[in-house]
Homo-oligomer: A and B are copies of this chain.
Amino acid sequence: MATEQFVIFDVNENRYQNDFSVSQESGIELSGSAAWSVSKHTLRGGLSAGVDVVEINNGALALSLLPTRGMGIWRGEYRGISLGWDSPVQRPVNPSFVNLHERSGLGWLNGFQEFLCRCGLASNGPPGTDVVLDNNGNEIQTDLTLHGKIANTPAWRTEVEISDVDSGLLSVTGYIDESMMFGPSLRLKSTLQTAAGSSSFTIIDEVTNLGGQTTELQLLYHTNIGQPLLDEGTRFVAPIRELAPRDSRAQEGIDSFPAYSAPVTGFVEQVYFMTLLEDATGRSVVLLKNSTADKGLSLEFQPQQLPYFSLWKNTQSMRDGYVTGLEPATNFPNLKTFERERGRVVTLEPSESAAFEITITVLDSIKSVADVENRIAKIQSQVAPTVHSQPIARFTPVS
């Protein structure tokens, strides 16, 4: 058994490979597939100028990682099934062109187009005012911007690991520091791992407080799915402990919250906040399945790590972004001040780390979809779901 490591770039070591590539032709054989590869190139031109792209292909599942955009996953494909969606933002955007404060704190939406991006680390949720300490230790009001900074912070090191353990494991790891003087200092070490030939991948994240004092952490995994997995008749399935609509708009759709319509011009997003049940090993799983129940996507994670889950239904016209978000998180994406009051903001002591793991699997058969659905049913069998028809004050600001 052997493991080989490759550094694509590292600012500390002043190393940077313009073009990187490793595959079976490099002399590493993985039993799961002969068609695996990991490569890197850099986009040039437009708002994408300077965006590094790492392509990881396990022989069946291919994913495009964006170190320049906080190790987000641009898009993917598994046996002809596209992963991702068609955002009005058509190409990855270099964070150097993104002003998060634009449009009253909604500037993040100028770069939002990934299959998966993170919202955090110091804050996520909508724009609004928070109180922080300045360099003199005085409280000052400051504007939080939509979903924080991590999706627009580039990794300073990216490395690749190929191991021939079992069927063969491919890993890409990025290191991102969201830090400033007199402010939060958090490091995200993010690994994407996939087995050769498999239909799934796992995100293994570790967030560490590099600072000398207690700090706060918010992290949400904004997993975004459009066609073909999302379409008329697609359904969301999950082992729900408690669910409530975020607001009156979501309340309108509460009776059919698990179901999706075809694209509707002018559709206004509906968001459902929920907590999930877990199995005996502490794991939970949610499913998006298409109308014929022969294709789908599942997310598996531990509610202990990611206790609050948001379902974002945004079935707008294709041109405006027909998409749904499956979003496990440390909190609900309300304004940070509200989440802090509700005790849903993680705190980290100096040197303390928080670990997060999510496994995403592409399902391409009736059987594989049914298997996940049965697993969810089994978890749900512990207790009936509590579904509130109206927003509840524990979950959201209710007026």
Contact = CB atoms under 8 A, between A and B. Distances in A.
Scoring A43, A179, A210 by chain B CB atoms within 10 A of each residue's CB, the highest score goes to: A179
Given A44-B9, A46-B154, A316 B212 contact: yes
A142 B104 contact: yes
A29 interface: no
A249 B350 contact: no
Contacts of A143: 104
Contact of A101 (B45, B49, B99): B99
Contact of A180 (B48, B109, B177, B247): B109
Task: Give chain A's interface residue range (CB within 8 Å of chain B).
Answer: 35 or more
Interface stretch (A253-261, A262-270, A298-306, A361-369): A262-270
A192 B6 CA distance: 38
Contact of A44 (B11, B43, B136): B11
Interface in A186-216: 210-213
Interface string A21-65: 000000000000000000001011111111010000000000000
Given A268-B136, A350-B319, A45 B181 contact: no
Contacts of A317: 212-213, 350
Given A100-B99, A247-B136, A213 B106 contact: no
B106 A135 contact: yes
A114 to B, nearest CB: 11
A154 B269 contact: no
Nearest to A142: B104
Interface stretch (A84-92, A227-235, A277-285): A84-92
Scoring A16, A49, A155, A269 by chain B CB atoms within 10 A of each residue's CB, the highest score goes to: A49
A384 interface: no
A344 to B, nearest CB: 21
A389 interface: no
Interface in A57-101: 67-68, 87-91, 94-97, 99-101
A249 B212 CA distance: 21
In the A-B complex, the 3 residue pairs with the smallest Cβ-Cβ separation, listed nearest first, are A46-B156, A212-B317, A16-B44
27 contacts: A9-B45, A11-B44, A45-B156, A45-B158, A47-B154, A49-B154, A88-B180, A88-B181, A88-B183, A89-B180, A90-B156, A91-B156, A99-B100, A101-B101, A101-B102, A103-B142, A103-B180, A106-B134, A109-B182, A136-B249, A136-B268, A136-B269, A182-B321, A185-B320, A211-B320, A213-B265, A265-B350
